[in-house]
Structure formats: structure tokens, C-alpha cells
Amino acid sequence: MAQGKSLRISLHGVLLDVLGVGVLILGKSGVGKTECALDLVMHGHRLVADDLIQIEKGGGGAVHGFSHELGRHHMEIRGLGIIDIEQLFGISATSEKKQIDLVIELVDPEECITDRLGLETETYTIMGLEIPRKRIPVRPGRNLTAIVEVATRDHLLKKRGYHAAREFERKLLKGLKKKG
């Protein structure tokens, strides 16, 4: 590889800036990735890329995502067609490029066995880099926007050293020792 050039791949999904965190939403076609992303934009978060995300690994080892020029700022909403997020919501609703910090995978509940306490840490590998991943079962009536926002806030807390599930487990074990 020539010096100064970065390797580039493409992934299907949606990339957003949620609370300053680069959140990549993945899942099968029709699972609700774009609708979830649209709702996140309506809650003040920023769209980076929808559908086909260009990803490159920079010199620092982090992976960054961005939109192909043709699709920049656009989303395809089933039943509406193509919409322009920047024109609808203003320039503050979009971002050109973002480091990918967290992967949210929207999955069929029948195909997903999740750690209900949240003690296990799952990762998703992009270009050799392990990125924290949360698998979210999609069911009718679930507020995916709220779940993605909370997953992002939890990710930020973990980066600061606070792990809610481990703290809960510690308190539970301490309480059981006192009773036993």
C-alpha cells in the first residue's frame, strides 16, 4: 500500500453521530435501520451516511465512515422515496465523516440470544479493528431510538470506567454475602 493512502471498504447500514459517538447501525434489509436513523436525526443527532457507507482506516488505526458523494445527506424512506436530510433539517443535522465507535446491530429476536444483564462485551470487526457491538432484538412497538440513545450513553460511561451491569452484580453479591 502506498504511503498516505488509506484502504477503503463499503458496508450497508447507517452511520450517525449520536452524542459525539460514531454509531454504525447494521441489520438485514427492511429491519428499520433508516427509520431509526431518521428518528435519531429528528432528536438532534447527525446523519453521516445512509445505505452504503464508505469506510477507511486511517494512520491512527481508527476506522472512519462517510457517504459516497452521490448519496451524501440523503436517505431512502420506504413509502416516501429519497429525502435530503440537510435540506429538511438544516446543516447541523448532517456530518461529513465520523469515526466508528459503536456498532448497533438490529436483529430478529428469534436469531438473537442476548446477554440480558449486559456483563458480556461483544465486538464487531471492521478492517481488523474490534469495535464494541450491541445486538438489539427488533419487535413491534419497541422504541429503537431510545434504545440506541441509551446504548450510546452507556458506551460513554464504559469509556469513563463505569460499567452499570458489573456494578449491579457487585452490589448483588455484596448483599448476598451479608445475608449468607
Active-site residue set:
12, 33, 51, 116
The answer to whether the beta carbons of residues 38 and 75 sit under 8 Å apart is yes
Extract the C-alpha cell encoding 40: 435519531
Q: Which residue has the cell 441509551?
A: 150
Going from the C-alpha of 53 to that of each of 24, 62, 96, 100, 169, the distances in angstroms are 9, 15, 11, 11, 38
Q: Give CA–CA dist 69/180, Å, rounded.
A: 63
Maximum alpha-carbon separation in the chain = 64
